[in-house]
Structure 1
Amino acid sequence: MAAAKPQVHIESVQTGLPTRVVEPDRTRLIAVAAPPLPEAALQRRLRAVLYYRADGAPWEEGIWVKESLGEALCFFPEMAGRLRRRADGSWEVKLNDAGVRFQQATVEATLDEFLVDKDRVRKEAALAPWIDVSAEDPDMCSLLFMQLNRFQDGEYAIGVSCTALLADPLSLTRFLLEWARIHNEMKEKNKTVLRPMMQYMAYFQRPEICCSRIRSFPIDSAASAADGVHAQTVLFRTSAAGAGAADLRALAAACMRRATEDLGVDGASRFTLVVAPGDPARGATTVETSLAADGMKAGHALEAAEWSELGLEELTLRGVKPVHVSCRIVAGGDEGLVVVMPDGDGFLVTATIPK
């Protein structure tokens, strides 16, 4: 008889809400150059998984995560918002305090077994879940998911998925670092209210009566073909000289060509360009779809960059840094994806090539 496939068990599904109400009628524009925005663009997302060695009872983190998320969302209210379509074909994030999805799960594998798995990148979809944003009812769909995963040996991982229309890699990193800072501060100062602690008291005493599983599924079944799990992303840095719209298109095309050369693969003939605002609180994200990868020349000097430059390796929980950080952009379909992010005196650019 064949051995049963390792499972992931979802044991808690909650909504993290800001602890303070956002001002009414606040929105953040997503300007679409040539509407309509295809539904596939709503699903392109960032995925980050941070793995930790436990120094105590990691499941206790679940109590604090929801509370600290609520505090962090007060400073990043767009993360708790919802997408909606505008009359002109563009989109916007409505800052309506709808919240983020937070789940707790157990994984039928040890941390070390998971990290050395040759198929780990694909299986990480089980640690950082995602539910597609509906083009018909986007206001019902969470834009950010966070999952606390406990391995069989007591170690744990934090998985995060977020649509690229809401946050670029830099802004998502800033949110997660601020959340971790608040999370650690709340635990040190015991700021959490009594109610959540009482809610979980029975779990610590008799987990078998409180941990009825919501659903279970094989680890290797989480990723679908549409996830583009074989897509590869290359990062670049460049100066901010000539930052007009046409120049950024040429820069994006140059990054696509360079990424194709560096990876030694056939490049996508067309790509989507997402340009993050310099100031997320005031600026608009711009999106241009189906741009040609050839025919545009850029004078920018491209310098190779690494995911580690984002700073997620510094995300400390329970006084320890992650033993491994995995970052990727999930971009299904045949088109490439380029994300241009202002960073200091220049740009950080990601170029994702489908395979």
Structure 2
Amino acid sequence: MDLAMKLHYLRGVYYFSSQAFQWLTIKKIKEAMFKWLNHYYVACGRFRRSKSGRPFVKCNDCGVRFTEAESDRTVEEWLEMKDLISLQKLMFPDQVIGPEQQFSPQVLIQITRFKCGGASLGLSWAHVLGDAFCAADFIDMWGKFMAGHQLSA
């Protein structure tokens, strides 16, 4: 846990064309996620504070929050929209950590399907878990599990 970081989320969105997403179903995505979260079990915990006020993660297997959404636009139409920066907020769960931290998940994921068959994966990653490189590694590992790879010891 990175104690120098404030309790906030790093956010990012990955976009996929219909060709890249055509063989994936929500069921397959979630099945890979269950395997992958066994290795990133801290991401399934919740924030707590010790008696001294120091934050820590209680590994209680509460899970990550997973949301599904749909858009009536294609990926290309979405990316060409003029107000894309403010619209990006629709691509990931817009939640803050707290005020009751024990109910705040450390990872929130949103899959948005577009009318063209493409999709986006929105990630809200609690910065105390690690920096943007850690979040990217987290997503990369999930992709490897979806592709059928196993972790080597």
TM-score, shorter chain, exceeding 0.5: yes
Q: What is residue 73 of structure 1 aligned with on the other side?
A: 37
What is the aligned partner in structure 2 of residue 171 from structure 1?
134
- Which structure dedicates a bigger proportion of its chain to strand? 1
Q: Which residue number corresponds to residue 103 of structure 1?
A: 67
Alignment of 1:1-355 (within 5 A): 29-31=1-3, 41-42=6-7, 44-55=8-19, 58=22, 60-135=24-99, 137-185=100-148
Output one character per residue of 1:166-224: Cα deviation in whole Å (capped at 9) or x when no partner: 231011111111110001117xxxxxxxxxxxxxxxxxxxxxxxxxxxxxxxxxxxxxx
SS at match of 1:185: coil
Q: 1:99 to 1:119 in 2, by over 3 A?
A: same
Q: Which string of whole-angstrom CA distances, capped at 9 and with x for unpartnered residues, describes residues 144-167 of structure 1?
A: 111111112211111111121223
Cα offset, 1:56, TM superposition = 7.9
Listed as ranges, the gaps of 5+ residues in structure 2 are none
- Conservation of the 8 A alpha-carbon contact between 2:113 and 2:120: yes
Percent identity, aligned pairs only, is 26
Partner amino acid for 2:142?
W
Match for residue 281 of structure 1? none
Note the residue ranges of structure 1 that are not aligned, 5 or more in a row.
1-28, 187-355
Q: 1:84 to 1:113 in 2, by over 3 A?
A: same
Q: TM-score, normalised by structure 1?
A: 0.39
Q: Which amino acid aligns with 2:144?
A: R
Q: Secondary structure at the match of 2:47?
A: strand
Q: Conserved in 2, the CA contact under 8 Å of 1:58 and 1:156?
A: no
Greater length-normalized contact order (CA 8 Å, ≥ 6 residues apart):
2
Taking the aligned partners of 2:23 and 2:45, their CA distance within structure 1 comes to 27
CA shift digits 1:309-351 (9 cap, x unpaired): xxxxxxxxxxxxxxxxxxxxxxxxxxxxxxxxxxxxxxxxxxx
Tell me which protein shows more helix as a share of its residues: 2
TM superposition score normalised by structure 2? 0.87
Conservation of the 8 A alpha-carbon contact between 1:30 and 1:93: no
C-alpha distance in 2 between matches for 1:169 and 1:131? 18
Per-residue CA distance 1:51-79 (angstroms, 9 max, x = gap): 11112874842111111111111111111
User: 2:20 touches 2:118 (CA, 8 Å); kept in 1?
Assistant: no
CA distance in 2, matches of 1:149, 1:45: 19
Q: How many residues align?
A: 149
Q: Quick check: which has more Rg, 1 or 2?
A: 1
Secondary structure in 2 matching 1:147? strand
Give the CA RMSD over aligned residues.
2.1
Q: Could you tell me how far apart the structure 2 residues matched to 1:138 and 1:56 are?
A: 36
Which amino acid letter does the alignment assign opposite residue 32 of structure 2? S
1:268 is matched with: none
3-state DSSP of counterpart to 1:157: strand
Matched position secondary structure for 1:139: helix
